[in-house]
Amino acid sequence: MLFLKKYKKYEHPYITTSIIILILLAFLSLFAPVLTDYNPVRNDARNRLQAPSREHLLGTDQFGRDVFTRILYGIRTSMEVGLAVVILTVIFGGVVGIAAGYYPQLDKVVMRILDAMMAFPGIIIAISLAAIWGAGKLNIILALSFAYFPKMARIVRSAVISIKDLDYVDSARAVGAKDSRIIFKYILKNSASPIMVQATFNFALAILDEAALSFLGVGIMPPAPSLGAMVTDARTYMVVAPWLILAPGIMIVLAVLSLNLLGDGLRDLLDPHLKNTLKNREVKK
Amino acid sequence: MRKEIKITAVVVLVALVFSLLLTANVLAQEEDRYGGTLNAAFQMSVAHLDSDNSTDSLITAMMNHVYEGLFEFDENLNLTPHLAESYQVGEDGLVYEVKLRENVKLHNGQTMDADDVIASFRRWLELNNGGQLVAPYFDQVEKIDQFNIRFKFAEAYAPFLNILASPVSNQKFVVRAEEVVDEFGTDVIDRHVGTGPYKYEEWVPDQKLVLTRFEDYTPSSREASFFAGKRTAYLDEIVFNFIPDAQVRVSGVQTGQFHFAEEVPRDQYPLFEANQNIDNVIIYPDRMSMLIYNNAEAPFDNKYARQAIAYALDFEELGYAMIGDPQFWRLESALHEEGNPWHVPDAGEGIYGVYDPEKAKELLDQAGYDGDPIVILSGQDNQMERQGAIAIQDQLEEIGIDVELQLFDRPTVVERRSKKEGWHIHLSPFIKIVPDPQIHQGWTGTNKWISNWDSEESREMDQIFAEMLREVDQEKRYEIMERMQSKLWDSVPYFNILDYSRLHIKRAELKDFKGSWQPFFWNTYLE
């Protein structure tokens, strides 16, 4: 693949670090049942708010549940939500973006609607949708996808517009290729990099917003573990049991930071213009 | 012989001097207590200060310093005459004759008499929730002479005096100056003339209420005990500050800005304990957590299913999960706490606190429970409600009952629980302190209440209620109460999981503060 070749060539430190962290997080969440003996929702309130110890690596929460276990499953929830949101936004954003970019007669109408949607901050749309549909993992995924897809559509559209008038597309058209073949074979393939960058950012944003929604009480329903909900619940105990708020907080930071770094790295890697400016800067130094 | 007399004389003299010194010392100490401004931090602001016109308990708590009742409750929730000197109940509970204390001064300088009481009473009867409970049974109030009043009932209503003294918001009857009542009628009063040890000085909405000492206050001669008896205004000034954020209230006390803070997080108790300048005030018993069934919907339209849940739950574990530190909660099966005259000690014997999942499963089978998910409807903002619901879900799922948790904000919860379907179990905090068992929120009886309880059993309960309403003899009323409690634990339309308390904090220099269900600052002083 193209970017792997490029990656080898440039050895981007951001990407390396973030990929290591992400692999670690993915490992933790995938192997949660093996890594811990505790059940993430089973109560043992008589042993509540215990400090970190050998039995409970990160202590216990107000219900006596093992915090380490809940964090592992919380990361799993975050990853699930992030992945699902990315897949949905790529599909919806892709379809709408291509339609708007490739068929000029649709462009004005679709883009104005998307503009209107983008006038509201994504989190506000997500909160209102989650409030209307009710809390729960599936609803959160749908609400966040709905909030993010306009931006994805916009990025796909501009990629499509810039590519569709290039010579090789014209020649494909001249040969008599159908729209579907042109779109999938020539346009989509060549607009992969901005989509990939945006998808990575969406992944990070989805994890952060899931945490925010759960923090506000419209996200993942208790007792299911979610990093954001853990932070909310821990606020009351911040002074007496600081590990309760620190552990999930640090996990959110790690996940979001690494994804953002990955996104930044990918953009540097895949966007020749930006890379050149960076190089120039180095030369000037 | 002479020597002996001499020695005796010396001893007597020394003793005399000592005792004189001691008395002087005590007097001086008493004198030292006077003065200072007390700053208290309360969590909610109030819309106005007219207790007859609002259900806000803070209004009652603050204006208790300005207004006094004919009767007040003492520490043990016993009714005590306060502005009243004495009273008599006659003719099968249809007539109450009350003699007022003479020479009690109002804040406008006049002497309080029957006219003030009657004017205030008529307003209370019309406007106040407590008054509205009494009104259907009431006939009229008559002035016998300047300091004697007769209350006449059309039908006997046993809780009358207890309601007059009620410590609950929007129930207590307080005496206001007749001129003020005439001026405002049923409108919200904003000129406050009462008989209390403090008088109204200034109110800045959403910010503070300032009260100052009333120099001509006439205290009751009875022994001081909570709201009853002698009140002494040591403080020059009391400032009630309205501070919604708990952490701000806490740090205010930590820095010395406030002398008292209402409702602070219980889990910070060890921090306050370690601080020499701060004393914990545990208000106990104060609240109870009620588990309420939807008696109209299967499976809980069957009493065996309702009993089953009581067996299925480990109440002690719930205590830790809902509240935490065991010094803030205790298991209690009765509607009234230990020490309350209405406490029934053996309520729920054999079922309350008996953790027996096997029996629970048997009872559920007996009730024909088909395994449909049980919906627990609960608030998400209150710690007890939220954590209680989560813990109950966990315990029920452990014995194989499928549970769906629905946590919402308060208005949504109130709306959903008022419906006959869509929920099975609801958790709600109740105020434990009530003036009379018959105005207990949980025992207005039956299908009128949120539990949708409407069956043979509920109608029997209604009869017990009516019987007790007519019975004026308090001992006989207690016997009825015992019957009612055992009936309640047999049919279990709802039950009390446990009692729990709130935590207030105060500065160490605030002395002789009594932790009552509504904070008050007479008889306390700053060192």
pLDDT of residue B444: 53
SS3 assignment for B88-144:
EEECCCCEEEEEECCCCECCCCCECCHHHHHHHHHHHHHHCHHHHHHHHHEEEEEEE
Q: Give the total number of structural domains in chain A.
A: 1
Please report where in the chains the tokens 């949980």 appear, as a residue: B442
Spans of all domains in chain B: 40-277+508-526, 286-501
Query: How far is the alpha carbon of B408 from chain A, nearest alpha carbon, in Å?
Result: 9
pLDDT of residue B411: 78
Residues sharing a CB contact under 8 Å with residue B79, sequence separation 6 or more, in sequence order? B71, B73, B161, B162, B165
HSE of B129, CA atoms in CB hemisphere, 13 A: 17
**Distance from first CA to last CA of chain A, Å, rounded?**
33
Q: Superfamily assignment of B40-277+508-526 in CATH?
A: Periplasmic binding protein-like II (3.40.190.10)
**Distance from first CA to last CA of chain B, Å, rounded?**
51
The predicted model gives B38-53 an average pLDDT of 90
pLDDT of residue B510: 95
Residue from A63, A70, A132, A218 to probe the interface with B (highest B Cβ count within 10 Å): A63
pLDDT of residue A285: 47
Q: Where are the alpha helices (DSSP H) in B225-348?
A: 246-255, 269-274, 303-312, 315-322
Asked if pLDDT for residue A174 goes beyond 60, the answer is yes
Residue from B247, B271, B394 to probe the interface with A (highest A Cβ count within 10 Å): B394
Give residue-wise pLDDT tens across range A193-222: 889 889 998 998 999 999 888 888 788 888
Are residues A66 and A36 in contact, defined by beta-carbon separation less than 8 angstroms?
yes
Q: Which two tokens stand for residue B4?
A: 């002996």
Query: How far is the alpha carbon of B324 from chain A, nearest alpha carbon, in Å?
Result: 8
pLDDT of residue A283: 52
Q: Do B387 and A63 touch (CB under 8 A)?
A: yes
Q: Give A255 or A275, the one with higher predicted confidence.
A: A255
pLDDT of residue A276: 58
Q: Which two tokens stand for residue B388?
A: 């209680």
Share of chain B above pLDDT 70, in %: 94
Greatest mean pLDDT range, A187-191, B141-145, B399-403: B141-145
Q: Which two tokens stand for residue A199?
A: 């998808």
Q: Which two tokens stand for residue B75?
A: 């520490």
Residue from A62, A132, A244 to probe the interface with B (highest B Cβ count within 10 Å): A62
* B40-277+508-526 and B286-501, same CATH topology: no
Give the CATH number of the domain where residue A176 resides: 1.10.3720.10
Are residues B309 and B425 in contact, defined by beta-carbon separation less than 8 angstroms?
yes
Mean pLDDT of chain B: 89
Nearest-angstrom CA–CA distance, B98 and B108: 24
Q: Give B153 or B3, the one with higher predicted confidence.
A: B153
| Band of residue B458 on the pLDDT scale cut at 50, 70, 90 | confident
Contact of B256 with chain A, judged by CB distance below 8 Å, is answered with no
Q: Cβ of A9: how many Cβ atoms within 10 Å? A: 9
Closest CA to A164 of A129, A188, A140, A142: A188
The predicted model gives B465-474 an average pLDDT of 86
Contact of B394 with chain A, judged by CB distance below 8 Å, is answered with yes
Give residue-wise pLDDT tens across range A61-88: 999 999 999 999 999 999 999 999 999 9
- Tell me the chain B residues in contact with residue A62 when contact means C-beta distances shorter than 8 Å: 321, 324, 387
Are residues B143 and B149 in contact, defined by beta-carbon separation less than 8 angstroms?
yes
Contact of B395 with chain A, judged by CB distance below 8 Å, is answered with yes
- Tell me which amino acid residue A156 is: V
Closest CA to B439 of B159, B173, B131, B169: B159
pLDDT of residue A278: 55
Q: Cβ of B270: how many Cβ atoms within 10 Å? A: 12
Asked if pLDDT for residue A12 goes beyond 80, the answer is no
Nearest-angstrom CA–CA distance, B420 and B452: 7
pLDDT of residue B24: 64
Region of poorest pLDDT, from A41-55, B244-258, B424-438: B424-438
CATH of region B286-501: 3.10.105.10
Closest CA to B289 of B428, B416, B413: B428
Residues sharing a CB contact under 8 Å with residue B252, sequence separation 6 or more, in sequence order? B41, B243, B258, B261
pLDDT of residue B445: 47
pLDDT of residue A87: 96
- Tell me the chain B residues in contact with residue A46 when contact means C-beta distances shorter than 8 Å: 316-317, 320
pLDDT of residue B447: 46
pLDDT of residue A248: 93
Query: How far is the alpha carbon of B112 from chain A, nearest alpha carbon, in Å?
Result: 49
Contact of B408 with chain A, judged by CB distance below 8 Å, is answered with no
Query: How far is the alpha carbon of A207 from chain B, nearest alpha carbon, in Å?
Result: 23
Give residue-wise pLDDT tens across range B270-285: 899 999 999 999 987 7
Q: Do A62 and B324 touch (CB under 8 A)?
A: yes
Q: Where are the alpha helices (DSSP H) in A185-242?
A: 189-190, 192-216, 227-235
Asked if pLDDT for residue B7 goes beyond 80, the answer is no
- Give residue A230's domain range: 2-284
Q: Is the omega angle on the peptide bond into residue B341 within 30 degrees of 0, that is, cis?
A: no
Give residue-wise pLDDT tens across range B145-162: 999 999 999 998 989 999
Asked if pLDDT for residue A281 goes beyond 60, the answer is no
Contact of B378 with chain A, judged by CB distance below 8 Å, is answered with no
Asked if pLDDT for residue B239 goes beyond 90, the answer is yes
Give residue-wise pLDDT tens across range B340-367: 888 999 998 899 999 999 999 999 999 9
Q: Do A46 and B317 touch (CB under 8 A)?
A: yes
Coil, strand, or helix at residue B167? Answer: coil
Select from A41, A49, A221 the Cβ nearest to the Cβ of B394.
Answer: A41
Contact of B373 with chain A, judged by CB distance below 8 Å, is answered with no
pLDDT of residue A272: 65
Contact of B398 with chain A, judged by CB distance below 8 Å, is answered with yes
ipTM, 2 dp: 0.76
The predicted model gives B79-104 an average pLDDT of 92
| Band of residue A7 on the pLDDT scale cut at 50, 70, 90 | low
Nearest-angstrom CA–CA distance, B176 and B69: 9
pLDDT of residue B1: 53
Select from B380, B391, B407 the Cβ nearest to the Cβ of A63.
Answer: B391
Nearest-angstrom CA–CA distance, B175 and B147: 13
Select from B268, B317, B398 the Cβ nearest to the Cβ of A45.
Answer: B317
The predicted model gives A127-138 an average pLDDT of 85
Contact of A51 with chain B, judged by CB distance below 8 Å, is answered with no
DSSP sequence for B323-375: T-SGGGEEE--SSS-TTSTT--TTTTTTTTT---HHHHHHHHHHTT---PPEE
Query: How far is the alpha carbon of A201 from chain B, nearest alpha carbon, in Å?
Result: 32
Query: How far is the alpha carbon of B277 from chain A, nearest alpha carbon, in Å?
Result: 19
